[in-house]
Amino acid sequence: MSFNDIKGQKFAVSYLKKIILKKRIPPTLMFVGKSGTGRFKTALTFAKALNCKNAQADSCDRCKSCIAVENSVHPNVKVIGRNSSVGIGDVRSIVNDNLVPINEGYRVNIIDNADKSTIQAFNSMLKYLEEPPENTVNVLIVRDPFNIPETIRSRSVMVKFQPLSDKDIESYLISKGFDSDKAVLVSHLLNGSLEGWEKFSDESFIKKRKSFIEEMLLFFQGRSDISSLLEKWNALFPDLSSKEKAEKFFDYVSVLIRDILYVSALGEKDNITNFDFLGYIAAKFSVTNKSSLERIYDIIKEQKEALLTNTNPQYAVVDGILRMKEVIV
């Protein structure tokens, strides 16, 4: 992958190319944006470009160095936190493995999910981020920069990643074998991010999602009960941890509430996510009680905040549903 292959991130890419050309690389960069917008791929391409001798401010994607980065075996490039939260041991592995970059290249430490690091990991990062060795750059991949301690945030240069456009998502899905009708629907559902697109190649997932959304809409009309709602929900993401499931639950519900508010209060149809339910929402929620929906929106926000503390995630979901029900009835 070279910078040309990164879609929808014109500003981030042109900034990175500029600093490589000028040979002025800040010691710590923070790639900020939703997951599924290309932050990690861009970080890897940046690492390739800093070590590639064949292309100017880009990766040729063919030389030994580029191939080594792609396959996670380049000694100058270290990735931590890719599939789990960053612990103190991961940070130590970067700090202790403090080698001089080979081939006059650049040492690039990519810290994925940096905002999910433990406090100890942050503390052990601090000194290293303050005084990194020469020709070393740290790339922190972050969803919400305010989950990063101020001491680290203030030492980083922020590079923002935009949500992807529906068009970019559609063409990506078509390149993965989706037919165009399905690509249009799924690009709406993905809401600016490619995260989780693979799930939609599975027809049974699409059916389960549809049946959950139907149930949720019935619930908002006071026509469904908690147990059938939970049953439909639990069928949708059987593999996720209960915390991830709870987070996703509130994401789904808040997007649905937003859609209903868009359609019923603003008559807006272009920006709705649950595109396939547009007709149903317009017909059933045309005279909806806007203040109750706004109240539900607040409840979802509060429940999501509760998830950041030690609240039991399953309890947070059930409590959230019960509180929503009180508003509806």
What are residue 31's DSSP bridge partners?
Answer: 141, 159
Tokens in use for 158?
């922020």
Residue placing its CB nearer to Zn ion in the complex, 56 or 228: 56
Residue count at the site for Zn ion (CB under 5 A)? 5
Quote the tokens at residue 55: 């292309």
CA distance 160 to 86: 21
* Cβ at position 177, least distance to Zn ion in Å: 29
User: Among residues 42 and 264, whose Cβ is nearest to Zn ion?
Assistant: 42
Residues 33-92 that bind Zn ion (CB under 5 A): 52, 54, 60, 63, 66
CB of 103 to Zn ion, least distance (A): 11
Q: Is 237 helix (H, G, I), strand (E, B) or coil?
A: coil
In the complex, least distance from residue 27 CB atom to Zn ion, rounded to whole angstroms: 24
Positions 122 through 151 that interact with Zn ion (CB under 5 A): none
d(CA 124, CA 88): 7
CB of 137 or CB of 194, closer to Zn ion: 137
Q: Are strands 136-142 and 157-160 parallel, antiparallel or unpaired?
A: unpaired
Output 103 or 241, the one with its CB closest to Zn ion. Answer: 103
Min separation Cβ 136 and Zn ion, Å: 20
Identify whether the C-beta of residue 107 lies closer than 8 Å to the C-beta of residue 79: no
Q: Shortest approach of Zn ion to residue 16 CB, angstroms?
A: 16
Q: Which residues pair with 141 in a beta bridge?
A: 31
DSSP β-bridge partners for residue 272: none
Bridge-based pairing of strands 28-32 and 157-160 is parallel
20 binds Zn ion per the rule CB under 5 A: no
Provide the minimum distance between the beta carbon of 218 and Zn ion in the complex, in angstroms, as a whole number. 55
- Of 64 and 176, nearer to Zn ion (C-beta) is 64
Name residues contacting Zn ion, limited to 221-280 (CB under 5 A). Answer: none
> Minimum distance between the CB of residue 66 and Zn ion, rounded to whole angstroms?
3
| Closer CB to Zn ion, 63 or 328, in the complex | 63
Distance between CA atoms of residues 258 and 256, nearest Å? 5
d(CA 187, CA 276) in angstroms, rounded, equals 12
Q: How many CB atoms lie within 10 A of CB 123?
A: 15
Nearer to Zn ion, 60 or 218 (CB): 60
Nearer to Zn ion, 25 or 111 (CB): 25
Q: Interior CA angle at 228 toward 222 and 231, to 5°? A: 145
Shortest separation between residue 113's beta carbon and Zn ion, angstroms: 27
- Interface positions, 151-180, toward Zn ion (CB under 5 A): none
Distance (Å, rounded) from C-alpha 192 to C-alpha 36? Answer: 8
Cβ neighbours around 301 below 10 Å, total: 12
SS3 167: helix
Interaction site with Zn ion (CB under 5 A): 52, 54, 60, 63, 66
